[in-house]
Chain A
Amino acid sequence: MIEIQNLTKKFKERTVLNGVSFEVNEGEIFGYLGPNGAGKTTTMRIILGLLKPTAGDALVWGQNLGENEDLRKKVGVLLEHDGLYERITAYENLDYYAQLYGVSNRVEKIENLLEFTGLSDRKDDKVGQFSKGMKRKLALARAIIHDPDVLFLDEISAGLDPEAQKMLRDLILRLSGEERITIFLNSHDLDEVQRICSKIAILQRGEIKAYDTVENLRSQFTKPVVEITLSDNREVEKALNLLSSLDYVSDCKQYNLGIAITLAESERSSTLLSFLMEKGIKVEEIKRVTKSLEDVYLEIVHQEERNE
């Protein structure tokens, strides 16, 4: 559905994007991650036709959005700035875009969306009086007023309190689940991306550093860690010495009442348990530690820094 092929963007001598390529399939929630200034917004602006690429292509359904007005009718947009008119009411804001997108059953659609976003009782208030969270919800309603097939969201929860963030996340998941909308999400909020995205790309300094599903990236970029708690605390020292000698153990260290063991290969956790039992060390509890996307992200970013 969205194909980015060797995308490069230069502003004068400064290269903002350098040979970026990825694809987003229909129905996916795609997370486009990266630190501030990595080039995420520039990529989105090129896809939306607001900027022209220096080289490469950014295609949606095989076409350039900037050159095809009809195609833009199938696309919803919520950029970093809300893009709302503060001196007119919430209803008028939605009505304006409903007319621009040629929505046929405007009144009913607007009422439903105001209900959906919980803003019905504020529909006749000027948007300038709204809180940041309310503006964001209204902007999301505006972005989906024409029932788009694909939705572009840029830093949707920036500056929102945790409750408003959760509300927006739930709205997005509902849209993806019930309406089957493809979602392209620009974000540097790792927690948000981990919670809602099926596939991600990590961009750093204008280049894609990783591109896969969250699960694959976790296993690809982080080594498996198991934590064991011993029945007898006096055996920790002995266990540490034994574990250090194993070739499939990358690292092991004591923490509180247990040992955290980093394995070179994920399938060795059962072997590890048998090994300790053979050596007469009683294990009370063993658990696999799941690495977060944050760990993956930091690993990639640090790896890049080490390479430099």
Chain B
Amino acid sequence: MNRTLVVARKEAKELLGNKGTLFLGLGFALFFPIIRILAILKGYSEFGVEDSTVATSLDGSIFFLPAGLGLLITYMCASQIFLLEKRDAVIETLMCAPVNLRQIWLGKVLGITVFAYLLSLFTALVILVISNILSGSLLLPTVATLVHVLLVVPTLIAAFAGLVGFVQFRLGMRENTILTFVIFIPFFVVLFSIGIQATITTSWTQVGILFAISLLLLAITAYITKHLSKERIVTTIP
């Protein structure tokens, strides 16, 4: 089997077998959709709106939550897969195996993407099921939203996993901790504060722009990993 896939399979399997990460991910995948759907349905029941408006809100939820949660879970997983492996110096042994650094990086990114994307899909399913149960009528997402979930979300997750992994490999432990508090935690707080409340209307333009951004991010990350060196990783092991 291709060595990148060997790494990817091991990482995905390890994440799926880690009860802590799995339950936390499933918890997020249930908690955020329930909160959002309840808020939407409560508002509509008070003011009285048509099914089409409920469907639009459902669409917006499926547009935002699987992607947002996918990124959050990706970050959590990257910290385990990239950062912990570096902190425990496990990466040093792996780099002595007949596998190059880009294969290691790509394998880890694929492993994280599979895990985070499965939870994203689960989130979308939860939103769909709860919306249909609570509204009492058949509500389906638009084609644009479906394309977004099936194409854009995994690309976005992969790009984000690649970028976070690159940063975590490249920087020392202290710099990574600083980055978590200065960049990543504020990013997720702002993302979810706005996203949970916002009324999002999905359009093909939005889907296209987000897809283009994801691809660009993926390309940039793939390019900059050429500058990742074993020496840099070894010398930043604590």
- Distance between Cα atoms of A77 and B97 in the complex (Å): 9
Q: Is B17 in contact with chain A by the CB < 8 A criterion?
A: yes
Which B residues are in CB contact (< 8 Å) with A83?
89-90, 92-94
Cβ–Cβ contact A50 & B14, under 8 A: no
A50-B231, A50-B234, A99-B6 given as contacts; is B90 within 8 A of A77 (CB)? Answer: no
Cβ–Cβ contact B97 & A72, under 8 A: yes
Cβ–Cβ contact B3 & A100, under 8 A: yes
Q: Is A79 in contact with chain B by the CB < 8 A criterion?
A: yes
Q: Is B96 in contact with chain A by the CB < 8 A criterion?
A: yes
Cβ–Cβ contact A69 & B235, under 8 A: no
- Distance between Cα atoms of A86 and B17 in the complex (Å): 12
Cβ–Cβ contact A101 & B97, under 8 A: yes
Q: Is A70 in contact with chain B by the CB < 8 A criterion?
A: yes
Cβ–Cβ contact B234 & A51, under 8 A: yes
- Distance between Cα atoms of A82 and B3 in the complex (Å): 21
Q: Is A52 in contact with chain B by the CB < 8 A criterion?
A: yes
Cβ–Cβ contact B97 & A100, under 8 A: yes
Which A residues are in CB contact (< 8 Å) with B100?
69
- Distance between Cα atoms of A97 and B90 in the complex (Å): 12
Interface size class of A (residues with CB under 8 A): 20 to 34
Cβ–Cβ contact A50 & B89, under 8 A: no
Q: Is A81 in contact with chain B by the CB < 8 A criterion?
A: yes
> At the interface, is chain B mostly helix, strand, loop or mixed?
helix
A51-B231, A69-B99, A100-B6 given as contacts; is B93 within 8 A of A77 (CB)? Answer: yes
Which A residues are in CB contact (< 8 Å) with B93?
77, 79, 81-83, 142
Q: Is A282 in contact with chain B by the CB < 8 A criterion?
A: no
Nearest A residue (CB) for B104: A100
Which A residues are in CB contact (< 8 Å) with B186?
none
Per-residue CB contact flags for chain A residues 69-80 toward chain B (1 = under 8 Å, else 0) read 110110101011
Cβ–Cβ contact B96 & A77, under 8 A: yes
- State the Cβ distance, A42 to closest chain B Cβ, in Å: 10
Nearest B residue (CB) for A78: B93
> At the interface, is chain A mostly helix, strand, loop or mixed?
loop
A83-B89, A87-B14 given as contacts; is B98 within 8 A of A101 (CB)? Answer: yes
Q: Is B52 in contact with chain A by the CB < 8 A criterion?
A: no
Per-residue CB contact flags for chain A residues 4-25 toward chain B (1 = under 8 Å, else 0) read 0000000100000000000000
Per-residue CB contact flags for chain B residues 161-192 toward chain A (1 = under 8 Å, else 0) read 00000000000000000000000000000000
Most chain A CB inside 10 Å of its own CB: which residue of B1, B14, B96, B98: B96
- State the Cβ distance, B229 to closest chain A Cβ, in Å: 8
- State the Cβ distance, A9 to closest chain B Cβ, in Å: 10
Q: Is A275 in contact with chain B by the CB < 8 A criterion?
A: no
Q: Is A48 in contact with chain B by the CB < 8 A criterion?
A: yes
Cβ–Cβ contact A81 & B92, under 8 A: yes
Which A residues are in CB contact (< 8 Å) with B88?
81, 86
Cβ–Cβ contact A96 & B99, under 8 A: no
Cβ–Cβ contact A45 & B234, under 8 A: yes
- State the Cβ distance, A15 to closest chain B Cβ, in Å: 15
Which A residues are in CB contact (< 8 Å) with B97?
72, 97, 100-101
- Distance between Cα atoms of A134 and B87 in the complex (Å): 21
Cβ–Cβ contact B18 & A87, under 8 A: yes
Q: Is B227 in contact with chain A by the CB < 8 A criterion?
A: no
Q: Is B95 in contact with chain A by the CB < 8 A criterion?
A: yes
Which A residues are in CB contact (< 8 Å) with B1?
99
Q: Is B36 in contact with chain A by the CB < 8 A criterion?
A: no
Cβ–Cβ contact A50 & B90, under 8 A: no
Which A residues are in CB contact (< 8 Å) with B14?
85, 87-88
Q: Is B10 in contact with chain A by the CB < 8 A criterion?
A: yes
A48-B96, A96-B10 given as contacts; is B231 within 8 A of A81 (CB)? Answer: no
- Distance between Cα atoms of A231 and B10 in the complex (Å): 73
Cβ–Cβ contact B230 & A49, under 8 A: yes
Nearest 6 A/B pairs, CB to CB:
A83-B93, A81-B89, A77-B96, A69-B98, A72-B98, A99-B6
Between A and B, 14 residue pairs with Cβ closer than 8 Å are A50-B92, A51-B234, A69-B99, A73-B98, A81-B92, A83-B92, A83-B94, A86-B88, A92-B10, A99-B3, A99-B6, A100-B7, A100-B97, A101-B97
Given contact pairs A49-B230, A69-B98, A92-B13, a sample of 8 additional A-B residue pairs in the complex whose CB atoms are under 8 Å apart: A50-B95, A66-B230, A69-B99, A79-B92, A85-B14, A86-B88, A87-B14, A99-B1
What residues make up the interface of B, taking CB atoms closer than 8 Å to A? Answer: 1, 3, 6-7, 10, 13-14, 17-18, 88-90, 92-100, 230-231, 234-235
